[in-house]
Amino acid sequence: MTNDRTRNTTTDYDPMLDLTATGERLVDPRLMNTAAQRKLQPSRKYSLNTILTGLLIFNCVLLVFALLVHANPQWAASTMHSSQPTEPVDTSVPLPAELTDINSVTFLVDPSHSVPADYVPSDLESPYVSSTGEVIQVRSAVASDLKEMINDANDDDAPLILTSGYVSFDTQEDYYSDRVAMVGEAEALKTTPKPGFSEHQTGLAVDFSDKDDGTATTTAFAESAAGKWLKEHAWEYGFIQRYPEGKEEITSYSYMPWHYRYVGRDTAKAMHDADPNMTFEEYFQTNK
């Protein structure tokens, strides 16, 4: 007869348990902490399955996106580059033909719009008026109105002396080089355009003085009888003061009361009616 406390030596013996005579299970206190720790530890198999599941979902998303890109390349391009800055759009309005036709009396010449280097007006002529002594030529469209204006000014005791008309590219180059040598380029550009950018090369621009030697091409000319007469009456003959006082930021040139530009009687009148001090740029809105 065996003892009730005799241990079971079979292979299914659990060393953590012992049985009392009443059948109660006893837990070996030495193994209690170890067992508890095993129960509290997370399942490694569960964690690995979670990771694998996440990777599978991620790969599925990539696959779906790749299929969409392949099927809709234009959609992909717009999606991927929607945040990129777009190229600026040129909204400038092309100049009308009356400002770009070299034969037009309203041909635009400014620091951004030039006269062809080889351009020589085909209709140059001399108005044979009071001048500084040399033969001065202008376009035929200008000559008759210029002559009438100078004669009327002389009759009003405001003697006008013509000092400059048409200037060739080479001559303008000499003027510009001489001026730069005297005062430097920055100062020279205020009154003397670079060759190719002078209105005188069109045969439509003229300079005046009230002295035979032509020395009055300064702002003081505005206070002379001739200067005041021109300011008041030039528009009647188709001429405008090209670079008025206070409009330097618009014209890009200093105030030049001796420099007038022929634009035709209709245009000159329209500009005068709008504003006697209006510039060419303001009337034709070339600075938009």
Do residues 165 and 135 make contact, with C-beta atoms less than 8 angstroms apart?
Answer: no
**How far is 121 from 200, CA to CA, in rounded Å?**
11
**In the 8-state DSSP scheme, what is residue 86?**
P
Scan for tokens 């009456």, then name that residue.
Answer: 233
The per-residue pLDDT string of the chain (288 residues; one tens digit each, 9 = 90 and over) reads 444 444 444 444 444 444 444 444 444 555 445 444 444 454 454 567 777 777 778 777 777 676 765 666 555 444 444 444 444 444 456 889 999 999 999 999 999 999 999 999 999 999 888 887 678 999 999 999 999 999 999 999 999 999 999 999 999 999 999 999 999 999 999 999 999 999 999 999 999 998 876 555 789 999 999 999 999 999 999 999 999 999 999 999 999 999 999 999 999 999 999 999 999 999 999 986
Coil, strand or helix at 161: strand
What stretches of the chain show up as alpha helix (H) in DSSP? 29-40, 44-71, 73-81, 97-100, 140-155, 169-183, 185-188, 225-233, 248-251, 265-274, 280-284
Residue type, 120: V
**How far is 97 from 101, CA to CA, in rounded Å?**
6
- Where do the domains of the chain lie, and which CATH numbers do they carry? 10-81 (no CATH), 97-284 (3.30.1380.10)
Strand residue runs (E) in the chain: 17-19, 25-27, 124-125, 138-139, 161-164, 205-209, 239-241, 259-262
For residue 242, how many other CB atoms are within 10 A of its CB? 22
Let me know if 146 is exposed, middle or buried by CB neighbors in 10 A (0-12, 13-18, 19+).
Answer: buried
Q: Would you state the structure tokens that stand for residue 76, as one six-digit string?
A: 């992909």
Alpha-carbon distances of 239 from 74, 95, 218, 277, rounded to whole Å: 58, 22, 19, 12
Kindly report the CA angle at 149 between 146 and 153, in degrees rounded to 5?
140
**How far is 112 from 286, CA to CA, in rounded Å?**
11
pTM of the predicted model as reported, rounded to 2 decimal places: 0.68
